[in-house]
Structure 1
């Protein structure tokens, strides 16, 4: 039977996986959006091009990242995931608030880079958690 700590670690691992996937998809979405914007209405997906959808997605990804990466830091005490994710979050937030009013290209570049940085933070967090789990299980034998 899994301990309460192992269950919590598994839950945060799932949160990191969702966050990594969401951030990565966000980055791909933002990189591709300028090229596929004209085709979205043709396939019934015009909502994917809306600023409201994008802002909601960024809000979700940001909240998930803060919880998952903050919790990961408390477990492994390694700052790298946060050092990757924080600039990513800043780029995402600036990209969906201010940059979209100035230039679609600036907006796309900022949000794409932000999404990739955020995904990288989640991936590193997962790796550090896995290393920590192996270290703890190694001492238990």
Structure 2
């Protein structure tokens, strides 16, 4: 694999991991933020559109990066973390009883965001440990 492509893999997974883990922290602190942000006048960051857009972006980004990497390392461990994480995020955003209950919503979003972040970390490890040899899918 060309050096630039390897660096791009690492960069994208680091961005994905950092973004997902920041999302998980955000979701864990959401109940506190719900109480504080209206007094600061910046409650728009908690809006449904922003949250749905962020989950859509995390889904597209995570699936694209992990699918690209899968072609390289052929291991499903990272996808095994990503898919349940994305499912949790989408359930928390789209299932009305859960979406409108602040604490359960925050718990499920934190769980989902953590799994997505761990998927990117797992993918980094899989890419880092990849050895180019005759069994390598892209070496031909």
Match of 2:54 among 52, 57, 60: 57
The runs of 4+ residues in structure 1 deviating greater than 6 Å are none
In 2, Cα distance between equivalents of 1:77 and 1:10: 19
Cα distance, 1:48 vs structure 2: 2.0
Match of 2:123 among 115, 122, 125: 125
2:80 aligned with 1:83: yes
- Name the residue aligned to 2:107: 109
Scaled by the length of structure 2, what TM-score is found? Answer: 0.85
In 2, Cα distance between equivalents of 1:79 and 1:40: 40
In 2, Cα distance between equivalents of 1:25 and 1:62: 15
Cα distance, 1:47 vs structure 2: 2.0
Match of 2:33 among 18, 25, 36: 36
In 2, Cα distance between equivalents of 1:67 and 1:6: 20
Q: Which runs of 5+ in 2 are unaligned?
A: 133-140
Match of 2:18 among 16, 21, 40: 21
Aligned length: 131
RMSD: 1.7
Cα distance, 1:116 vs structure 2: 0.2
- Name the residue aligned to 1:139: none
Cα distance, 1:59 vs structure 2: 1.0
Write the deviation string for residues 12-58 of structure 1: whole angstroms up to 9, x where unpaired. 22111111111111111111011121211333432222121111111
Q: Which has the higher contact order (CA 8 A, sep 6+)?
A: 2
In 2, Cα distance between equivalents of 1:112 and 1:82: 18
Structure with bigger helix share is 1
